[in-house]
């Protein structure tokens, strides 16, 4: 069996997922038709990472980077031409972020990281949608990322919209609908924190791949909240 960072490789990825219908279109670099089935090639699948980063190390790198950012001591790591050319050959992101699409919360900046460091999935309200989960399954099961941070933030407009419970246009209503269960089932008055915890639970509940990696000790999922006034990220228990 082909493995990457100790994880299942592309030939066995679908078998690991327990489904023959899973597609990873977002990371496909091409495809060919066999009958009526499109066979897509998964990009960035390479031999095992020579320097794997375990969850404890990954979390420390993120928190240290955020401390630099919040104290105006950014190092701007891994942003050179040499780094660009290196990650063009292969990517081994040490952490994944499920964050909000809010323009004030760019993960690479607030964690002071660079090219190839983070696998970032952003959607309003940091909602654990099917597409978001699929993306996180790819980075963990194929690229070998061992840490996922579900990152919400203070003054989140998506959470505020869900709290107001007013009619919303278009697909915006779907985002609010994905947040409302967090508000209904929470005993907390801090709805942002309640939503962060809820979306982290949704990741684990709705993905067999992520659940298996957790059980094997190859993945850790943590919750965190970014304060847009101070620039500080705090872990959520």
Structural domains for the chain: 48-236 (3.40.1050.10)
**CA-to-CA separations, 79 to 63, 70, 99, 135, in angstroms, rounded:** 19, 19, 22, 24
Three-state DSSP state, 67: helix
In terms of Cβ atoms closer than 10 Å to its own Cβ (0-12, 13-18, 19+), residue 181 is: middle
Strand order in the sheet with 220-226: 118-122, 95-99, 147-153, 220-226, 233-236
- CB-based contacts of 29: which residues, under 8 Å, 6+ apart? 41, 42, 43
Three-state DSSP state, 39: strand
Tokens of 25: 């279109």
Task: Please list the pLDDT of the chain residue by residue as tens digits (237 residues).
Answer: 444 444 445 555 555 555 433 433 333 323 333 233 333 334 444 446 667 799 999 999 999 999 999 999 999 999 999 999 999 999 999 999 999 999 999 999 999 999 999 999 999 999 999 999 999 999 999 999 999 999 999 999 999 999 998 999 999 999 999 999 999 978 778 999 999 999 999 999 999 999 999 999 999 999 999 999 999 999 998
Q: What is the pLDDT of residue 35?
A: 37
40-44 contacts, C-beta under 8 A, 24 or more apart: 42/10, 42/13, 42/138, 42/142, 44/90, 44/91, 44/142, 44/143
Distance CA 52, CA 59 (A): 13
**Which has the closest alpha carbon to 98: 64, 69, 133?**
133
**Chain centre distance of CA 89:** 22
Tokens of 38: 């499109």
The secondary structure of 131-194, three-state, reads HHHHHHHHHHHCCCCCEEEEEEECCCHHHHHHHHCCCCCCCHHHHHHHHHHHHHCCCCCCHHHH
Distance CA 150, CA 172 (A): 21
DSSP letter for each residue of 109-137:
HHTT--TTTEEEEE-GGG---HHHHHHHH
Tokens of 217: 């000790």
Q: What is the pLDDT of residue 4?
A: 43
């Amino acid at each position: 069996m082909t493995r990457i960072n100790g994880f299942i490789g592309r030939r066995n990825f679908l078998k690991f997922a327990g489904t023959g219908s899973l597609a990873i279109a977002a990371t496909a670099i091409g495809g060919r038709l066999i009958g009526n089935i499109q066979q897509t090639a998964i990009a960035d699948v390479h031999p095992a990472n020579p320097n794997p980063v375990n969850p404890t190390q990954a979390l420390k790198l993120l928190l240290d980077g955020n401390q630099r950012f919040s104290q105006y001591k950014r190092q701007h790591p891994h942003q050179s031409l040499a780094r660009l050319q290196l990650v063009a050959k292969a990517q081994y992101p040490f952490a994944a972020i499920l964050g909000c699409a809010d323009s004030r919360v760019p993960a690479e900046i607030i964690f002071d990281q660079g090219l190839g460091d983070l696998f970032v999935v952003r959607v309003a309200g940091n909602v654990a949608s099917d597409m978001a989960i699929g993306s996180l399954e790819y980075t963990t099961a194929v690229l070998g990322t061992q840490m996922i941070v579900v990152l919400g933030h203070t003054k989140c407009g998506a959470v505020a919209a869900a709290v107001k419970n007013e009619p919303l246009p278009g697909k915006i209503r779907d985002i609010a609908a994905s947040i409302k269960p967090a508000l209904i089932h929470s005993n907390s008055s801090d709805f942002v924190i309640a939503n962060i915890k809820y979306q982290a639970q949704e990741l684990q509940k709705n993905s067999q791949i992520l659940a298996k990696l957790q059980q094997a000790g190859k993945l850790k999922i943590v919750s965190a909240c970014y304060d847009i006034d101070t620039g500080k990220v705090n872990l959520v228990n």
